[in-house]
Structure 1
Amino acid sequence: MSPTVVPAIPAVHREVRLAARVEGDLAPPHFTLAEVPVPKPEPGQVLVRNRVMAVTAAMRTQMAGMPLPMGSFVPGEALWGSAVGEVVAAPDDGFTPGELVQHSCGWREFAAVDASRVRRLDPDALPAPAAHLSQGATAWGALRRAAEVRPGDTVFVTGAAGGVGSLAGQLARRLGARRVVGSTGSERKAALLRAELGYDDTIVRGAGPVERQLRRAAPEGIDVLLDTVGGEQLMAALSLARPDARFALVGALSSQLGGRGGVAAPVELDAGLIIMRRVALRGFGLHAHPDLPQEWTKEFGQGLREGSLVFPHALLKGIEQAPRALCELVQGRHIGAVLVEL
């Protein structure tokens, strides 16, 4: 086998910085594109040439400057987020130039990352490096571990056209669900969810009361909720919950994308109904399940190769497109994951 050829490291690279805290609608002026020297890895770090990065709804929240469980972005400094690339320099830390890795220092073309925060990737595990940036591990863990989908279940997924939801419909079916219903923001997206992404029926935000639409789509009630939205949709799901229903809560898009950028999504829940129907509500976060990415990669790779799973995503090319990518995600322009090829 011929040795891996690693391209020369340039003197400078580009990174995207937060220009100012975001209040109201996110727009391109909230970002700046800076040209800076390529960082030199210190002892215990590796230098990675980023190839593809993800943008997520949580990034809008991190721009608001409010107390968060995750770190907030700082005006004047580079943003960060999940990225995949190859090692180009690795002094004394066990990595080899050319290795494919994943880390959390996206939004820049090169990143010096602590070796402990870099995860090696098997280049043959998935058909394309971009697939490692799917949000399927969250969907898989929420459905399989938190909600424990069972054969014959009726499953309701909120935010079904997003990075989590676009895989959740397929996975609910894979786990034996009898009926899968998803919510989304337009009839165009709803049609695609029904035609290609495993959903039997859909409800469309703004097309009437959510509870009324959900009663039509799931007249016998629901056994499982995978909730990325909160708000009215969570309330509607509770009203349709069957005895021993299991709810997995993974996001609060009703607040995150509502112009305020927060994570709080207060909602009135009927405690008596929860008790009488024995509804289990469980928050789910991937950070509490460090073994899940490996489990998910195996499941995802098998599904992609046999054609039983698809990976809906939008891919914008060039780091200068990253601000546009996040703005379009917040506006609901895309279906599935939103990625940027660097």
Structure 2
Amino acid sequence: MTRALPAPHRPQAAVDPPLLHVSALTVTYPQGRRRPPLRAVDTVDLQLAAGRTLGVVGESGSGKSTLGAAILGLVAPREGSVTFRGRDITHLGGAQLRALAPDLQVVFQDPYGSLNPTRTIGATLAEPLRLHRRWDAERARDRVEDVLSRVGLPPGTAQRYPAQFSGGQRQRIAIARALTMEPALVVCDEPVSALDLSVQAQVLNLLADLQAELGLAYLFISHDLAVVRHICDDVVVLYRGRVVESGPAARIYQHPQHPYTRALVNAAPLPDPAAQRARRLQRAAPTLTPPPPGVGPAGAAGCPYAPRCPLVQPACLTAVPALAPSAADREHLVACVRRDEPS
């Protein structure tokens, strides 16, 4: 790890409207004529202010990438709305969506898959400048060289091809491409999950430095809550498309209250081998009380996490718990009937 990444301390303005506002967003996918549609994203609400970072965390299949795609206009939502800079962008398409691209960019997990292997890096990064801003070749080339230097890549990068770079360098190129149009919001979809730990730290440091320098807002999608807590101001935890916990990143990581969030925290490896071994033994020990008699898998009306929850009780099967504040922190919201119980 190149250097310790400081926890963000950026005060959120109370009077300014959010840069991004997602309200009751629902995305469904068909599952055939005999099965109801899959609710990949289920009535999700979130807000992101300019210059801040919101983490969206969950395991594979939780709906976090679908949520990002819906915000970017790549997936059509069934219900709800997405508002960006006070403008409803939920159902934009065609020319309107392309016009929004300079302000709303994305960094994907696999940068090589999003780079044309037959074009130089300079040609790829200059293309949006030529199409959207009608810049001439010389002006576009200068901008490309500038953003490549900002992400720490050496001179001559623009003349090379994607296959000539390492995974970490390609991710820096993907970040440079997102910065080319000077966006206000960058959606980072698992941007470091495919990288080595030391390279992960370098990319996270780079994202933090660029945010401080340029005032960017990030929607940071990840399965790793340990990574998210270092770079994010706030966190939204998704399970089966629903928000089960949200609030300040440090609060959620240090005092998780939903059983699913606790499982995500415990899944992160510890740097101390003795502590990691003790945690593994604790998870293996049958210390939790079994579910009460008659409590089985949750139906459509129950808590979606009930079939996996070690703390499940009959009340969990009657209705989906409301996302409500915890007793210790009004900004810390938890969708669990047993919120505020000790970990």
- TM-score normalised by length of structure 1: 0.23
More helix as a share of residues: 2
More strand as a share of residues: 1
- TM-score normalised by length of structure 2: 0.23
